Structure 1
């Protein structure tokens, strides 16, 4: 696991965007695993900017999103299908038939989850999986106590996740309590994983992810078992790390060419 600490959120986001750009330059037909949530908004804005400057193209790529709420149609403003269209897909050159999300509107969520897992196996493996990090350590919607061997499935969201995500729903609007998510084992099957976490509210989860024991109570710790994970942080998110000085980038590395940031290595 490589742990990279940047002075602020902007630097962390730029480094994550550079890693995605580098992946697509090296392998234009990459299969990308994509995430949603507040942390990803700035990353997608950076990637849209890179696309508009002619620095990257998504025309040969495919993508699989981590998760989707059960009970929301793709057109629903709070569905992740709608989020991806509004925040990313409509602004870049992904082919219309190359972006995949779980079918949260299916009347048979478990069957839809199985079909999604089969699509990943058929069209994958995922070359670069992007992840955010929940305050309770969830990755995708793999909540605390999720099996570390889990595959794509329907799952119930914890009260803490419902509270954290309630800001995206208007007062009185029905908020789904279940979702379809890639499982932890599905995530670990990606060739490379890039996790971006910013802000002090993520500090406890980050400390568990990087330095804590592997535990189902902190699902993110399963990433310690993957051979190629990069964790990109800003200083507030890194504040609880005991070895933060070891992970913190020095001035020389920090001045690297932006595209090379994504592959530079520090830490263990």
Structure 2
């Protein structure tokens, strides 16, 4: 696990965008994993900027989203597929049919989850997965106590997660759905490169467990310690509880330019 601490979210977005661009230069038909939430937004803004400048194309790429609320209608502005389209994919040249997301309106939820797993497998797996982390250590919607071997499935959201997400629903926690479909931890772990972004003091406890704590289902993100290629991008506030922060800064400062993340 590589931990990078930079001074502002825009710098984190540039580093993550560098990795996406380098991947698409090597493999124009690469498969991207896209996360919603506030943390990935600087990445998407930077990728849109580079696309508009003619520096990257998504025309042959494919993308899979991490999760989706259950029960929100297709025209709801906070449906995660709608958010990803609004914030990113509609602003670049990714084909509309190349964006895949779990079906939160499906009548047969288990079948929809199995179909999503099959679609990821048929695409050859995810090459680079963008992630955020919840204040309780969840990634995607794998809440504390989730099986470390879990696959795409329905989950009940914790009160903490619903409270955290209420800001997207006019601060009305009761408007936040209680259920979601989410890629499981084992699904996420199958991606070839994981890039997790976290900013703000509210993420410091979760980041501490993620980077320096024991692997535990109580802090689901800690499973990433077992992945061979993980990049954790942090601002100083999110890194505020890391004991080895000076070391992480030193290793990043002395890293060879050719190595990338």
TM class, shorter-length: over 0.9
The structure with higher relative contact order (CA 8 Å, sep 6+) is: 1
Q: State which drifts further: 104-113 or 183-192.
A: 104-113
Q: Deviations over 1:53-82 (max 9, x none)?
A: 111110110000000000013321110011
SS of the residue aligned with 1:248?
A: helix
Q: Aligned equivalents of 1:24 and 1:246: distance in 2? A: 31
CA contact (8 A) 2:72 2:105 kept: yes
Matched, 1:28 2:28: yes
SS of the residue aligned with 1:139?
A: coil
CA contact (8 A) 1:33 1:130 kept: yes
CA contact (8 A) 1:74 1:80 kept: no
Which residue does 1:196 correspond to in 2? Answer: 197
| Residues matched between the structures, number | 260
Matched, 1:223 2:224: yes
Q: Aligned equivalents of 2:2 and 2:40: distance in 1? A: 20
CA contact (8 A) 1:203 1:240 kept: yes
Which residue does 2:236 correspond to in 1? Answer: 235
CA contact (8 A) 1:200 1:237 kept: yes
Matched, 1:246 2:247: yes
CA contact (8 A) 2:12 2:42 kept: no
CA contact (8 A) 2:166 2:175 kept: no
How many angstroms does 1:255 deviate by? 10
Scaled by the length of structure 1, what TM-score is found?
0.92
Return closer, same or farther for 1:134/1:251 CA change in 2, 3 Å cut-off.
closer
CA contact (8 A) 2:12 2:43 kept: no
Which residue does 1:49 correspond to in 2? Answer: 49
Q: Deviations over 1:148-207 (max 9, x none)?
A: 000000110000000000010036673211000000000000111111111111111111
Q: Aligned equivalents of 1:224 and 1:107: distance in 2? A: 36
How many angstroms does 1:253 deviate by? 4.8
Q: State which drifts further: 70-79 or 224-233.
A: 70-79
Which residue does 1:131 correspond to in 2? Answer: 131
Q: Where does 1:106-125 land on structure 2 (aligned, <5 Å)?
A: 106-125=106-125
Uncovered stretches (5+) of structure 2, i.e. residues with no partner: none
Which residue does 2:17 correspond to in 1? Answer: 17
SS of the residue aligned with 2:39?
A: helix
CA contact (8 A) 2:30 2:60 kept: yes
CA contact (8 A) 1:6 1:249 kept: no
Which residue does 2:103 correspond to in 1? Answer: 103
CA contact (8 A) 1:5 1:249 kept: no
How many angstroms does 1:240 deviate by? 0.5
Which residue does 1:178 correspond to in 2? Answer: 179
Q: Deviations over 1:114-133 (max 9, x none)?
A: 11111111112111111011
How many angstroms does 1:52 deviate by? 0.4
Q: Aligned equivalents of 2:152 and 2:92: distance in 1? A: 27
Q: Aligned equivalents of 2:242 and 2:216: distance in 1? A: 18
How many angstroms does 1:135 deviate by? 0.6
